Amino acid sequence: MSRRGTAEKKTPKFDPIYRNPLVHMLVNRILKHGKKSLAYQIVYRAVKEIQQKTKRNPLFVLREAMNQVTPNIAVKTRRSKGGSTREVPIEIGKTKGRVLAIRWLLEASRKRKRSGPNTNMASRFSSEFIDATKGRGGAIRKKEEAHKKAEAKRASAHFPSSRNRRYIDPIRGSINLDRKGIHRKRIRMDQYLSRNKQKGKER
């Protein structure tokens, strides 16, 4: 018996203090070696430092930084029938974009120089989020590089890898294209209708 459609939708989880799903996602992504209490300490310290530095609601700052870093397009590697691979730009959804944004923010935070106030992970994390709201920082550069790469690969996005490609034109009808795109067979809609009428008369 098929079990399709029986899976329940995942409900968003929240952290115990701010009751915010974004904070819960940050804790899970920053978690290492199963030390969840340490991950909570780092994120909560970073949130407090954001509030002290910006004098704003830290949850608004987190959301604004995420919106700045979240990409709209990405490059995906696809394999054709011949075995060759190529990179094609694709549009990504909100969930995938948020996962990439959190990954880039964490990577940029870990790579920040440990000098002055940026000695611990919480300080570097808060500084990276504040820079992201201002349109700068390592995470913003990562997003710009991804968009530039997708724009450069846009030319190969309109050619499917299949041998026979079909295009439906509302006036000319169906057009079959071979691999080289040289031979084109066009069937007009009026001819198609006339053939059906003749077949009906013969019957």
- Distance CA(71)–CA(142), nearest Å, equals 10
What pLDDT, on the 0 to 100 scale, is given for residue 66? 92
Contact between residue 143 and residue 170 where contact means Cβ atoms under 8 Å apart: no
At 71-127, the pLDDT tens digits run: 888 888 877 776 777 777 888 888 889 999 999 999 999 888 876 666 788 999 999
Torsion sign across C-alpha atoms 55, 57, 61, 64: negative
**Structural domains of the chain, with CATH:** 21-158 (1.10.455.10), 165-202 (no CATH)
Reported residue count of the chain is: 203
Six-digit token pair at 198?
């003749």
Six-digit token pair at 35?
């030390």
What pLDDT, on the 0 to 100 scale, is given for residue 151? 82
Indicate the residue type of 93.
G
